[in-house]
Amino acid sequence: MHRSQIFIEILASLLLTPTPVLQQHATSTPRQLTMATSHSPKKVLVPIVAGTEPVEASVPIDILRRAGADVTVASAGDALLVEIVYGVKIIADALVADCAAASYDLIVLPGGVPGAANLGGCAALEGIVRRHAEKGGLYAAICAAPPLALAPWGLLDGHKATAHPLFVEYFPPEVTAVDANVVVDGNAVTSRGPATSTEFALALVERLYGKEKVEQIAKPMLVRYEAGYSMKELNSVQWQCSGTPKVLLPVVNGSEEMEAITIIDALRRANAKVVVASVEDGVEIAALHGMRIVADVMLDDAAADQSETQLDLIIMTGGMPGAETLGGSEKLVALLKKQAEANRPYGAIGAATAHVLQSHGLLTGRKATTCASMAVLLADASECENRVVVDGNVITSRGPGTAMEYALAVVEKLLGRVEARRLAEDLLFFA
């Protein structure tokens, strides 16, 4: 069968709910696109589309921007506002159709179903990636995107590559499938899924900037390459949750997008009702590393709703100055104090542990963890070497590199270890 026919059949068959699996190695104006030169920052294109997997998009964007790259997030649709998988809404910097004249040092395709197939079916994107590859440019894809986009375009012929285990069978005979977290073969870099996104992004940083830059980024992020998660639990109590868990996640300008999106993605995979609430003047927020995220509601609306329906959990994400802004919100602090008085769970990750929970007496008599730079602000920093700490109804974690472990620990407390294990497998993050 001709390769184009195979692709069409795959595209038609993939309108299904993703069951993701790990192993190792809007009316905004598009920003102006410029040509890459040796004297300018490395330029990276990350296309997104309806059905894109949130973690696989946000983690490379976050990490590559940390490395100093000029990352353009481009919508492969006809609007800048894109609702990707699990209801995450992102405002792109540009349309793919407007990126043809620009040149890039790297193009990264995130996965997701049907996102990967949607990218593979975008003629404008195919043209950009083909021209880029013909010039010897570096290109990469993760999850379903290697077999559903790069392979149909012929850009993995003669290469070794990896993909999500459920999609490896879609590689044509010209591609040698490899069972690994990340495969680098020539100018093609491929990876497996959500839990390998960080390793994938750091491999791209190494190709663009070298190993020293990887070490500079990975250490403060608290990146760990080993699979699995664990939590330190003190004063264990049963979290009360009747039916579908309702979780409030406030966001502000400067919130850490990798932390926020990883938690939203994972909890919504577990069928929790996650309400993303803006503490700013509008629903659009500019996250710490430039991702523009659209919240579901304003915090005032979420607070009004809470007066009628109790929240099973409130989570604050870190990032500076985002954590300080959260700590300065009287409305949010009032919600948290009401949650604490009712003995219902709440938590934080990264700088929010210090700037929200500690600052407002919400850690009194509790142990907690946070990032190294914030540990000095805690009254009791004795547990700060632990990646996730649960003390009664309070759950805390350290930073971007621990966000997935944190989300899994939250699911275990709300829904049980069996569901947490299922979710870990779904994410390719085996315990």
Query: Of 143, 241, 371, 384, which residue is the catalytic one?
Result: 143
Place of tokens 């990469």: 140
384 is catalytic: no
Cα–Cα distance measured from residue 427 to residue 415, given in angstroms and rounded to the nearest whole number = 17
The closest of 265, 409, 275, 288 to 332, measured between CA atoms, is: 275
Cα–Cα distance measured from residue 159 to residue 422, given in angstroms and rounded to the nearest whole number = 32
Cα angle, residue 123 at apex, residues 118 and 124 outer, rounded to 5°: 105
Catalytic residue IDs: 143
